[in-house]
Structure 1
Amino acid sequence: MIDLLCRCGQFGEAEKLMNEMLFEPDEIILSSILRSCRVHKNQDLAKRAADALFGMEVLRDAAPYVNMSNIYAEAGQWEDVSKVKKAMKDRGVRKVTAYSWVEVNHNVHVFTANDRTHPQIEDIRKKIDVLWTKMEKEGYKPDTSVILQNVNEDVKVESLKYHSERLAIAFALTNTPEGSPIVVMKNLRACVDCHVAIKIISKIVGRDIIVRDSSRFHHFRDGCCSCGDYW
Structure 2
Amino acid sequence: MPVEPSAIVYRSLLGACRRHNDSEMGERMIADLLRLEPEHGGNYVLQSNMYADANRWNDVGRVRKAMKEKGIDKTPGLSLVELDGALHEFVMGDRTHPCSKEIYAMLDEMGRRLHEAGYRPKTKGVLFDMEEEDKEDALSYHNERLAIAFALVASDSSAPIRITKNLRVCADCHSTIKLISSIYQREILMRDRSRFHHFKNGACSCSDYWLSRTFLSTMMLGNGHENRH
- TM-score normalised according to structure 1 size: 0.84
* Runs of 4+ displaced beyond 6 Å: none
Q: How far apart are the structure 2 equivalents of 1:29 and 1:120?
A: 45
What's the Cα RMSD here? Answer: 1.8
1:77: which partner in 2?
A: 56
Q: What is the aligned counterpart of 1:185 among 145, 153, 164?
A: 164
Taking only the aligned residue pairs, the percentage that are identical comes to 43
**What code does the residue aligned with 1:38 have?**
R
CA offsets 1:9-42 (integer angstroms, 9 cap, x no match): xxxxxxxxxxxx3212212222233334334433
Query: How far did residue 228 of structure 1 move?
Result: 2.2
Q: How far apart are the structure 2 equivalents of 1:105 and 1:69?
A: 40
Q: How far apart are the structure 1 equivalents of 2:76 and 2:115?
A: 29
1:33 matched to 2:13: yes
Listed as ranges, the matches of 1:55-204 within 5 Å are 55-56=35-36, 58-204=37-183
Query: How far did residue 111 of structure 1 move?
Result: 0.6
Q: How far apart are the structure 2 equivalents of 1:33 and 1:219?
A: 30
1:7: which partner in 2?
A: none
Q: What is the aligned counterpart of 2:199 among 216, 220, 227?
A: 220
CA offsets 1:63-121 (integer angstroms, 9 cap, x no match): 22112201211211012112322332344321111111111112111111111111101
1:6: which partner in 2?
A: none
CA offsets 1:137-186 (integer angstroms, 9 cap, x no match): 11101122211112222221111111100000111122222222112111
1:51 matched to 2:20: no
Moved more, 32-41 or 219-228: 32-41
**What code does the residue aligned with 1:29 have?**
V
Whether the 8 Å CA contact 1:99–1:188 is kept in 2: the answer is yes
1:3: which partner in 2?
A: none
Moved more, 185-194 or 40-49: 40-49
- TM-score normalised according to structure 2 size: 0.84
Gap change, CA 1:168 and 1:50, over 3 Å in 2: same
Whether the 8 Å CA contact 1:188–1:214 is kept in 2: the answer is yes
2:220: which partner in 1?
A: none
Local SS of the residue matching 1:55: helix
Q: How far apart are the structure 1 equivalents of 2:156 and 2:130?
A: 39
Gap change, CA 1:135 and 1:106, over 3 Å in 2: same
Q: How far apart are the structure 1 equivalents of 2:46 and 2:119?
A: 26
2:215: which partner in 1?
A: none
Which structure has more relative contact order (CA 8 Å, sep 6+)? It is 2
Q: How far apart are the structure 1 equivalents of 2:81 and 2:15?
A: 27
- Note the residue ranges of structure 2 that are not aligned, 5 or more in a row: 211-229
Local SS of the residue matching 1:211: strand
